[in-house]
Amino acid sequence: MEEVKTVESVENEAGSKNFIEQIIEKDLNEGVYDHVTTRFPPEPNGYLHIGHAKSILLNDGLAKKYNGAFHLRFDDTNPTKEKSEFVQSIKEDVDWLGADYKGKVLFASDYFEQMYEAAIKLIKKGKAYVCDLTAEEIREYRGTLTEPGRESPYRNRSVEENLLLFEEMKNGKYEDGSKVLRAKIDMASPNMNMRDPVIYRVAHMSHHNTGDKWCIYPMYDFAHPVEDAIEKVTHSICTLEFEDHRPLYEWVVRELEYPQPPKQIEFAKLYLTNVVTGKRYIKKLVEDGIVDGWDDPRLVSLNALRRRGFTPESIRMFVELCGISKSNSSVDYAMLEYCIREDLKLKRSRVMAVLEPIKLVIDNYPENQVEYFDVMNNQENEALGTRKVPFSKVLYIEKTDFMEEPPKKYFRLFPGNEVRLMNAYFVKCESFVKDEAGNVTEVHCTYDPQTRSGSGFTGRKVKGTIHWVSAEHAVPAEVRLYENIVDEEKGKLNEDGSLNLNPNSLTILKNCYVEPSLKETKAYDSFQFVRNGYFCVDAKDSSKEHLVFNRIVSLKSSFKI
Ligand code: ATP
Ligand code: MG
C-alpha cells in the first residue's frame, strides 16, 4: 500500500469533479446514453463493511446527481457460497445508509433464463462452443503470460452440435465438470481472460432462489455484463482488480448486441489503517472469541459501526472526503473519527457521566437538600433545549479529578484548591479520606452559595472545571472504551501471518454513573459525555436494568481540517 491519505491530502481532490462524473457527463453530452443507471451488486456471502459503503454511496450518489436510478442487485449466480441470511443483513445495511433503490431488490438469479438465451445467441453466432476438456486441461491449454494458449480440439464444433450439447447440459445429461460452454475469442490474446473463457458450467446443485431448476450456472464474467445490460445499467462501477476483465465485459455486451450497452469503470478499493476488513481474519477473530461477533464495535462491518454509534451521515461524509481514485491507498482511521465528531457535535446532548467515580461530599451543603439546575443540552445549539440536572450534598466525580499531590499545571481538585463544578457551584477541597490500601475514597469540599451557575457571579475565577453526578440520583452504567484492534505502526501481521492484536482494544468500566436523564435511553441513542467523548447505547447488551454505553470516539483529535 503506498501512501496513507489524511484529511489534508484529500481535501483538494474532494471538491472537483471526479473522473467517473467526467465520464458520465461526457457520455450524456455525446448521447451515448439517454439516462444514468448504476448498481451495487453484492454477493450474498458475508456482511458489508466500510469499503462496500463506499461503493454503495458512490453509485447511489451518482444516480441521484444525474437523476438516474440506483439498483440493489444480489449477485447470486454461484449456488455454492450464498446464504439467504446475508440478503437480509445487506438490505438492512443499504437501507441504513440511505441509498435509494426504490424498494425494489433485484436478484441476478431471476435472469437465469435470459442468460441462457444469451448463451444460445452466442452459439448461434459461432461465438461460443461446448468444450469437453477437463478443468485441468483447460488450464494447461490456456498457456501462460509469456506463451500463447492452444485451441481446444472441440473449438470447431458446428453450431448445431453446440446447440444440442448445450441443451443436453441444461437438461442434466452430463456430470459436473464434464462439459463447459466457452466463449470463442482468442487463444493467443495477451489478456488471459480473453483466451476462450468458460461462460457456463455444469453444477448439480440447489440454488437458494431457483432450487433445482438449473444444473448449469453462468460464470461471473459472463453473467455480470448480461445482468447489467438487462437492467439497462449504464455505468457499471467496480474495483480495480476487474480492470483486466474489462475487455471481456465489452466483448460480451458487444456480441450480444445490446443497445446502449453498459460500460465498466474501475476505481480503487477503500483501505483503512488500524482495522481488519478481510472476511478470513474477522471469521477467526469471531471464532477465537476475541470479538463478540461480526458486529463487535471494534470492527468496521456496517453493523459493527452502527453498534459503535457511527451515523450514516458520518459515513457519507467520510466517503466524500476520501474521494475516488484509480490507485490504491489507505485512509487513516482518524479520518473516520473526525467525521463522526463533526456529525455529532451539534446534534447530540452533552451530558454528565462519571466513568471512574470517587465520592465528593460538600460538608456545608444541607443534608437532604436537592436542587435542580437548568442545563442547556448543547451550548452550541440552542434548539436542543434544556434539561434539569439534580444536585445534592454527595456527588460522584472522576477519580482523576483529584490529586493529593498535584504536579504543576494541575488545576483540578487538590487540598486547598477551588474548582467549578460544571453547571453548579465553586467548591474548595478541604480534606480527603483514604482506605487501608491508600486509595482516596472521598474528597471533602465546601461550596460557596454565591457562585451558583447562572447567578452572574464574577467575584473570582477558578482555573479548573470538573463534571459530576448526584450520587443519590445517578444511574449506574457499564461503559466500554475501545482502541484500534490492530496496531498498524507495529505492523498489521505477525511473522506467522496472524494478526498483531492490540491487547488494550477493549476496556470495560463496570462502575460508572450517568445522570438520571439517561435512564430512558434506547439502543443506538448517542450523547456527548462531557470531557469523555461521544457514547452510544449498546444495541446488544444494554437494557433498562443494566445500561451499557460504547465510546464511539474521544473528544480530542490529532486531526484538523
Ligand atoms: P471483500 O473482498 O472485501 O470481502 P467482496 O468483493 O467479496 O468484498 P462483493 O459482494 O463481491 O464483496 O462486492 C460488492 C461490491 O462492493 C463490488 O462492486 C466491489 O467492487 C465493492 N467493494 C468491495 N470491497 C470494496 C472496498 N474495499 N472498497 C470499495 N468497494 C468495494
Ligand atoms: Mg467478491
Distance (Å) from CA 300 to ligand 2 centroid: 17
DSSP 544: S
| pLDDT at residue 8 in the model | 55
Crossing angle of helices 50-65/19-29, nearest 10°? Answer: 30
- Answer yes or no: is pLDDT of 291 > 80: yes
448: which 3 cell numbers? 460557596
pLDDT digits (tens, 9 = 90+) for 463-484: 999 999 999 999 999 999 999 9
Ligand 1 atom with least separation from CA of 54: 29
d(CA 202, CA 183): 15
Least distant ligand from the CA of 269: 1
| pLDDT at residue 278 in the model | 85
Q: Which of 52, 280, 320 to mutate to test the pocket of ligand 1 (most atoms within 8 A of CB)?
A: 52
For ligand 1, atom 23: residue with the closest CA: 52
| pLDDT at residue 5 in the model | 61
| pLDDT at residue 490 in the model | 77
d(CA 248, CA 225): 9
- Ligand 1 pocket (Cβ < 6 Å) reads 41-43, 46, 51-52, 54-55, 238-239, 269-270, 277, 279
d(CA 367, CA 394): 9
484: which 3 cell numbers? 484500534
Q: Is 98 helix (H, G, I), strand (E, B) or coil?
A: coil
d(CA 240, CA 409): 53
The distance of Cα 167 from the centroid of its chain, to the nearest Å, equals 44
302: which 3 cell numbers? 456496517
The number of beta carbons lying within 10 Å of the beta carbon of residue 494 is: 11
The number of beta carbons lying within 10 Å of the beta carbon of residue 497 is: 6
pLDDT digits (tens, 9 = 90+) for 302-330: 999 999 999 999 999 999 999 999 998 88
- Contact at 8 Å (CB) between 469 and 375? no
d(CA 200, CA 118): 11
The distance of Cα 376 from the centroid of its chain, to the nearest Å, equals 33
d(CA 137, CA 330): 40
The size of the chain, in residues, is 561
| pLDDT at residue 83 in the model | 76
| pLDDT at residue 558 in the model | 55
pLDDT digits (tens, 9 = 90+) for 411-444: 999 999 999 999 999 999 999 999 999 999 999 9
Grid cell 478499493 — which residue? 269
| pLDDT at residue 531 in the model | 96
Q: Which residues contact 411 (CB under 8 A, 6 or more apart)?
A: 417, 419, 462, 463, 464
Q: Which of 43, 55, 224, 279 to mutate to test the pocket of ligand 1 (most atoms within 8 A of CB)?
A: 55
**How would you classify residue 373: left for phi > 0, otherwise alpha for psi between -120 and 50, otherwise beta?**
beta
321: which 3 cell numbers? 472526503
- Residue 249 belongs to what H/E stretch? helix 246-255
Query: DSSP string covering 350-380, please?
Result: EE-EESSEEEEEETTSPTT--EEEEEES-TT
For ligand 1, atom 27: residue with the closest CA: 51
In 3-state terms the chain splits into helix, strand, coil percentages (rounded to 5) of 30, 25, 45
Report the candidate in 398, 306, 396, 382 with the shortest Cα–Cα distance to residue 350: 382
Q: Which residues contact 393 (CB under 8 A, 6 or more apart)?
A: 361, 362, 365, 366, 367, 368, 369
